Amino acid sequence: MLPTDQLFSDYVPVLIASIAGFILVISALIGSRLLAPFSEEREKGTTYECGMLPLRRASTNVGNRFYLYGILFIIFDVEAVFIFPWVLTFVGVGPLAYWTMVTFVAILGLGLAYAWKKGALQWR
């Protein structure tokens, strides 16, 4: 554990790094403004300089079922996030870790079953 007094002094490198970062970015921006050549054409203002012209407005309605799929997808994505570190400690911890993960996956599975029953997977 860290002695509490040092807590903030440990972050001094971070502070220096971020100040240095700011200076770098700002000097690069100013430098390009001073040095780079600029051309003023209509093409410059379009979304894509080459390729198709975009049709309609950028903000369009998305089917609201899409979000449901999105959420379900994220849930199982997050499951993976938990499973990867689990793999690393699995051997050391033993059967407890195994059953813990089984419970976790089972809960998610039940959730999927519930969502299925409620018709969340039906594209209507």
Partner 1 sequence: MTDLLGNDLNLQYELLGPEIALVITAALVLFADAFRRELKIGQSAIPAISILGLVVALLLSLLWIDENKDFARLVTIDNFTTFFRVLFIAVTVVVIIGSHEYIERRVSHLGEFYSLLLLSTVGAMLMAGARDLLTAYLAIEVMSFSLYILVSLAKSDTRSGEASLKYVLLGGVASAMLLYGLSFLYGVGGSTQYTEIAAALSDGTSTLELPLLLGLALIIAGLGFKASAVPFHMWTPDAYEGAPIPITAYLSATSKAATFALLLRWFAGPLLPAIDSWQWMISVLAVLTMVIGNLVALQQSNIKRLLAYSSIGQVGFMLMAIVTISDQTGSALLLHLSGYIITNLAVFMGVIAFYNRTGREEIVAFRGLAQTNPYLALVITAGLFSLAGMPLLAGFLTKFILFQSVVSGGYTWLVVTALLASTVSLYYYLQVIRQMYMYQPEGDASRWRLSPTGYLATGAMLVGVVWVGVYAAPFYTAADRAIAPLFT
Q: Which residues bind partner 1 (CB under 8 A)?
A: 1-5, 7, 96, 110, 113-114, 117-118
Phi, psi of 39 (to 5 degrees): -120, 140
CA distance linking residue 74 with residue 103, whole number of Å: 19
In the complex, what is the shortest distance from the CB of residue 67 to partner 1, in angstroms, rounded to a whole number? 16
In the complex, what is the shortest distance from the CB of residue 91 to partner 1, in angstroms, rounded to a whole number? 15
Nearer to partner 1, 37 or 92 (CB): 92
Nearest-10 crossing angle of helices 64-93, 95-117? 170
Nearer to partner 1, 18 or 100 (CB): 100
Nearer to partner 1, 65 or 118 (CB): 118
Nearer to partner 1, 52 or 81 (CB): 81
Q: What angle do CA 71, 75, 77 make, to 5 degrees?
A: 110
Q: In angstroms, how far is CA 77 from the centroid of its own chain?
A: 11
In the complex, what is the shortest distance from the CB of residue 27 to partner 1, in angstroms, rounded to a whole number? 33
In the complex, what is the shortest distance from the CB of residue 68 to partner 1, in angstroms, rounded to a whole number? 15
Is residue 121 a contact partner of residue 115, using CB atoms and an 8 Å limit? yes
- For residue 97, what are its two tokens? 């870790």
